[in-house]
Amino acid sequence: MSEENQNPDLTDDEKRLFADLMPEDLKEIMDSGFNRRHFLKLMSIGGASVLAANLLGAEQVLARPLATEQAAATAAIENGVKLSFNINGASRSLTVDSRMTLLDTVRERLQLTGSKKGCDHGQCGACTVIIDGQRVLSCLTLAATCEGKKVTTIEGLANNNQLHPMQEAFIKHDGFQCGYCTPGQICSAVALLGEAKKGDASYVTSNIKQTGSAQQLSEDEIRERMSGNICRCGAYPNIVAAIMEVHSGKPVDQHFNFAG
């Protein structure tokens, strides 16, 4: 079966989303499926942020549960641990295998696939999430330890279709290529803002004994504080520019220009 002819099988949520974002396309989508042509059309709608807003909204509804919670729960769970926690503002209760990491739980059980598994060993930062205001690695966090905690993943940063300023800055500065490290980079950068406000130090802070006030970070400081997030595509200069813009509250020049 060719991609063109696949029945899109849209849910009510999806119909509402498409009706919202691109009413003129909805009928065609219903008739012919959400094919590559439409994707390309989306790309040409306008600025990158329109695209990102669309993709972001679309991802939320398209990422609908593949397997129901019920089905997952009946899969072999050893040493089950009952768990209640808050994820992106919603309370969730589930039983997890004691071995289950928070990363696998959000991806496989809660269908929040924004957080990425790069290494699964604490070495890359792609799985970074924010727990009770602190950035941590979800691949080295057992879900069982999250009882009563408040977890924020990349899916929880935007306010409906209003992106978090850090997300907007990453788009403006093209802070990614393949995008695999990006959810972790953005969660990490959002938490970094809070740490700088508190006056936290880093290894490159020039005088660690000077305590107290909020930090105005240099590029070197941002690089050191973001060193736990590896980008295999090497988008670092643009990532630093994006973070600098949000942290300083002042526009930062883009390192690139759009062609023509």
Ligand X SMILES: Cc1cc2nc3c(=O)[nH]c(=O)nc-3n(C[C@H](O)[C@H](O)[C@H](O)COP(=O)(O)OP(=O)(O)OC[C@H]3O[C@@H](n4cnc5c(N)ncnc54)[C@H](O)[C@@H]3O)c2cc1C
Least distance from C-beta 140 to ligand X, angstroms? 7
227 binds ligand X (CB under 6 A): no
Binding string, residues 63-102; x marks residues near ligand X by CB under 6 A: ----------------------------------------
- Site residues for ligand X, 107-146, by CB under 6 A, read 122-123
Least distance from C-beta 34 to another protein, angstroms? 36
Q: Of 196, 198, 211, 212, which is closest to residue 247 (Cα–Cα)?
A: 196
107 binds another protein (CB under 8 A): no
Task: Closer to ligand FES by CB, 8 or 228: give it.
Answer: 228
209 binds another protein (CB under 8 A): yes
Report the phi/psi class of residue 118: left, alpha or beta, with left for phi > 0 and alpha for psi in -120 to 50.
Answer: alpha
Of all residues in the shown chain, the one whose CB is closest to ligand X is 122
Query: Binding partner of residue 180 among ligand X, ligand FES, another protein, none, CB under 5 to 8 Å per kind?
Result: ligand FES
* Burial call 217-254: b when 16+ CB within 10 Å, e when fewer: beeebbbebbebbbbeeebbebbbbbbbbbbeeeebee
Q: How many CB atoms lie within 10 A of CB 197?
A: 12
Query: Binding partner of residue 233 among ligand FES, ligand X, another protein, none, CB under 5 to 8 Å per kind?
Result: ligand FES
- Site residues for another protein, 20-79, by CB under 8 A, read 78-79
Q: How far is CA 163 from the centre of its chain?
A: 11
Task: Closer to ligand FES by CB, 107 or 109: give it.
Answer: 107
47 binds ligand X (CB under 6 A): no
Task: Closer to another protein by CB, 54 or 128: give it.
Answer: 128
Least distance from C-beta 149 to ligand X, angstroms? 16
What DSSP element (H or E) covers 85? strand 80-87
Q: Of 232, 259, 122, which is closest to residue 176 (Cα–Cα)?
A: 232
193 binds another protein (CB under 8 A): no
Task: Closer to another protein by CB, 63 or 140: give it.
Answer: 140
Q: Of 202, 199, 190, 56, which is closest to residue 131 (Cα–Cα)?
A: 190
What DSSP element (H or E) covers 130? strand 128-131
Q: Of 3, 19, 21, which is closest to residue 11 (Cα–Cα)?
A: 19
Helix (H, G, I), strand (E, B) or coil at 126: coil
